[in-house]
Amino acid sequence: MIDPIIFTGNPLDRASELRSDPDWVAGQLAHPEARIVPFWRTKPLIRLEGARAFPAWTSVPALGDHHDPARTLFLGLNGTQTPFFACDVSAVDEPKDDPLLTGLGKFIDLRSICPNLSVPDTGILAQGKAILQWHHSHRFCSYCGVETTMVDGGYRRHCGACSHDHFPRTDPVVIMLVTDGDQCLLGRSADWTPGNYSALAGFVEPGETFEAAVAREVREETAIEVGNVRYFTSQPWPWPMNLMTAFFADALTTGITLRDNELEDAMWASRDQVRLALAGDKAAGFNAAPPLAIAHHLLKAWVA
Amino acid sequence: MIDPIIFTGNPLDRASELRSDPDWVAGQLAHPEARIVPFWRTKPLIRLEGARAFPAWTSVPALGDHHDPARTLFLGLNGTQTPFFACDVSAVDEPKDDPLLTGLGKFIDLRSICPNLSVPDTGILAQGKAILQWHHSHRFCSYCGVETTMVDGGYRRHCGACSHDHFPRTDPVVIMLVTDGDQCLLGRSADWTPGNYSALAGFVEPGETFEAAVAREVREETAIEVGNVRYFTSQPWPWPMNLMTAFFADALTTGITLRDNELEDAMWASRDQVRLALAGDKAAGFNAAPPLAIAHHLLKAWVA
C-alpha cells in the first residue's frame, strides 16, 4: 500500500454528466449551502487555525462583488450533495487592502501550505488551481485569436467567432526511479536547494507512450539505457496542470553522462543512503524529495 | 508480454536536447539524406506496394514549393543519424490534381491504412499527425490572441506579442477493463457500427489521478463502483493527440445503470464470449475492438 499522497483523494463528485447544463450550474450556485473558495493569482484563500489550514470556504453572497459567475468553476458535490465552487479574484489589485477578503482568510501559495491541509483538501485545491490557471492562460481562441467564454461550469471554453470548443489540458509527466540492484539513479537541477536530489522526470511528447518517454528522458539526461518500465502510481501536480506518472525502471547501463542542460548532477545512491535521506539524516550525503513529491513515495516503496 | 501495439515503438531519436537550436535544425533539413513526409489535412502521404504501405518519404528538394520550413516538424534521427521530418501541405486545394504529390503517393487516412504499415512506421506517423494537428489548432496565442510562430523544430510556438511559449498538448485518456470474476464490462456508443463493444474510456481531468479518473468514468457511465485499479500499458492515439492509458479494475458492484449520454448500451460479457469475439466468431454475440485498439489488447490479456 502507498501512503496517502498530497493532491490525491479529492472527495468531490465532479458530476460531469450534469454540469454542461447552464441552468443546473446556476441552480447549484444559488443553493443555500453552496460553498466557494476564491483564488488570487494561483493562490487559494486559506483559513488558519493554529497549525491547521483549511480552504476558506464561504457563501456566494458573502463574496459580494468579488463573485463573477464568468470566472467561477464548479468543483463538485460532496456526499450530501452540497455544491462546491472556486472563483478567480485575480482582478483585485492587492487583497491585503480588501477587508472582505482579509476577513475570510489569507491567499497562500498552495505548495507551502500543503503540509497543513488535509490530503482531501489538497486534492480539491489542486483541481481549482489547475483549472483556473488553464482559464487564465486560455482566454483567446487558439484557432482564430478571438476571446472565448467559459461554459459547462468551467470545463470548456467556447469561441463564438469560429465555434471551436476548448477543453482544459492536463500535461502528463513521467517521473521514474531507475534502479540497478541495490542502487538508484538520482539527479538535481542547478536551481534546486543545494544537496537536494530526486528522481528524473520530463514531459511526455505527442505520439509517445509513457514507457518510451521514460526511456527517452533518462537517455537524454544521463545517457543511461533502461528497460522493464513498471507503473507505480499517479499524482496531480498543479504547476500549472501536470499529471505526474511515476514508474520504476531497470538500468541496462550504468555510466552517467550529463547530455542535456536539465541536470546539474546525477549520481547512483545506495539503498542505505536513501533510507538515511528519507529519515532526514545528514549522513546520507543528500536531501531526498519531501513527502509532498511523488518521488518521495517512489523512494519509500523502493527501500521498503 | 504484450504484442506490439500500433502507434507504439517509434524508433526515432527525437534529439530534444538539440532541436531547440535553429541552426542545428536548418543543418538537419539541409542534410543530403534528410527524409520528409507530407501530411494533407491530417492524412499522411502513403506509398503503396501491393498490400504493404510505407510513409512516402522523399527529399526536401523534391517537394519544391510544397516545402515550407515554417510548417515543417523535426521527427527525429534514425540509427545512422539520418534526420526525418514531416511537413504540412494542407494549403494545397486538391492533392489529386497535383502531379508532384501524386507522383510520390496518396494521402490516406492513418486509421484505415495502419494494418498495412509496419508498427514502427505507425509510431512515426502518429507523432507527425499529432504534432501537426496541434500546430493547426494552435495558430493563435491563447494568452493574447496574436498569431504565433513555430520554433524548436516544431515542439514550441512562440508569441512575439506577449512572449508566452506554447508547447504541444497530449491528452491523457483512461481506458479500463472492469472485471467481476469471469465476466468483464463492455459498452458501446450510439454512433458505432452495430454490434461493436469495447472497454469504457474517458478523458482525465485536471487535478485528478489516473485511478480517480477510472473510477469516475465507470461510475458516470454505468453507476458501477470499482477498486484495485491496475495499470496495463499505454498507446498514443493521434485523434487528435490522445494518450490512451489502459487499466484493469475490479468491480465492487455489478448493477448497470446508464447514467450519462455517452453509452447506448453496456453489458457483462463472459470470458468465453470474449474469446469467441476476439477470434471473430459471430457466436460471441458482439464484435470486439480490433487489434488497432488498446482495448483489444486489454481483452486478450484478460482471457490469456
Handedness of CA B188, B189, B190, B195 (dihedral sign): negative
Between the alpha carbon of residue A160 and those of residues A107, A165, A260, B133, the distances in Å are 34, 9, 43, 21
> Model confidence at B17, in pLDDT bands (50, 70, 90)?
confident
Q: Distance (Å, rounded) from C-alpha A104 to C-alpha B302? A: 53
> What is the tally of helices (H) and strands (E) in chain A?
7, 15
> Model confidence at B79, in pLDDT bands (50, 70, 90)?
very high
Whether the predicted pLDDT of B3 surpasses 90: no
Q: Which residues of A touch B171 (CB under 8 A)?
A: 167, 169-170
Whether the predicted pLDDT of B183 surpasses 80: yes
Average the pLDDT over B7-24 and give the result.
Answer: 94
Give pLDDT tens digits for B240-270. 999 999 999 999 999 999 987 889 999 999 9
Supply the pLDDT for residue B2. Answer: 62
Supply the pLDDT for residue A262. Answer: 85
Between the alpha carbon of residue B82 and those of residues A70, B28, B184, the distances in Å are 51, 8, 46
Supply the pLDDT for residue B4. Answer: 85
Task: Provide ipTM, 2 decimals.
Answer: 0.96
Q: Which residues of A touch B144 (CB under 8 A)?
A: 140
Buried-state track A224-248, b at ≥16 Cβ within 10 A, e below 16: bebeebebbbbbbbbebbbbbbbbb
Residue from A21, A124, A132, A170 to probe the interface with B (highest B Cβ count within 10 Å): A170
Average pLDDT, chain B: 96
Supply the pLDDT for residue A1. Answer: 54
Q: Distance (Å, rounded) from C-alpha A37 to C-alpha B237? A: 37
Would you call A139 an interface residue with chain B, using a CB distance cutoff of 8 Å? yes
Residue B282 burial by Cβ neighbours in a 10 Å radius (0-12, 13-18, 19+): exposed
| Residue indicated by cell numbers 543511461 | A224
Which residues 150-189 of chain B have a CB within 8 Å of chain A?
Answer: 155, 164, 166-172
Nearest by CB to B142, from A13, A130, A137: name it. Answer: A137
Q: Which residues of A touch B161 (CB under 8 A)?
A: none
Q: How far is B99 from chain A (nearest CA, A)?
A: 31
SS3 state of residue B178: strand
What residues form DSSP beta bridges with A188? A265
Between the alpha carbon of residue B178 and those of residues B198, B226, B286, the distances in Å are 11, 7, 17
Residue B158 burial by Cβ neighbours in a 10 Å radius (0-12, 13-18, 19+): middle
Nearest one of B182, B199, B178, B202 to B286, comparing CA atoms: B199
DSSP characters for B120-141? HHHHHHHHHHHHHHHHHHT-B-
Nearest one of A84, A191, A132, A170 to B243, comparing CA atoms: A170
Which residues 239-258 of chain A have a CB within 8 Å of chain B?
Answer: 241, 243, 245
Q: Which residues of A touch B14 (CB under 8 A)?
A: 205, 216
Cβ contact (<8 Å) for B17 and A145? no
Residue B261: closest CA among chain A residues belongs to which residue?
A17
Average the pLDDT over B206-218 and give the result.
Answer: 96
Q: Which residues of A touch B143 (CB under 8 A)?
A: 137-140
pLDDT, mean of each 10-residue run, chain A (304 residues): 84 94 97 98 97 97 93 97 97 95 97 96 98 97 98 98 98 98 97 96 96 96 97 97 98 94 94 97 96 96 96
Supply the pLDDT for residue A261. Answer: 80
Give pLDDT tens digits for B34-74. 999 999 999 999 999 999 999 999 999 999 999 999 999 99
Cell of B154: 516544431
Would you call A260 an interface residue with chain B, using a CB distance cutoff of 8 Å? yes
Cβ contact (<8 Å) for A130 and B206? yes
Q: How far is A141 from chain B (nearest CA, A)?
A: 6
> Model confidence at B1, in pLDDT bands (50, 70, 90)?
low
Residue A22: CB atoms within 10 A of its CB come to 12
Q: Distance (Å, rounded) from C-alpha A296 to C-alpha B9? A: 30
Q: Distance (Å, rounded) from C-alpha A187 to C-alpha A112? A: 23
Supply the pLDDT for residue A55. Answer: 98
Residue A228: closest CA among chain B residues belongs to which residue?
B1
Q: Which residues of B touch A259 (CB under 8 A)?
A: 17
Supply the pLDDT for residue A2. Answer: 62
Counted across chains A and B, CB pairs separated by less than 8 A come out at 170
Nearest by CB to A205, from B140, B164, B170: name it. Answer: B170
Residue from A18, A143, A210 to probe the interface with B (highest B Cβ count within 10 Å): A210
Which residues 83-102 of chain B have a CB within 8 Å of chain A?
Answer: none
Which residues 204-223 of chain B have a CB within 8 Å of chain A?
Answer: 204-212, 216, 220
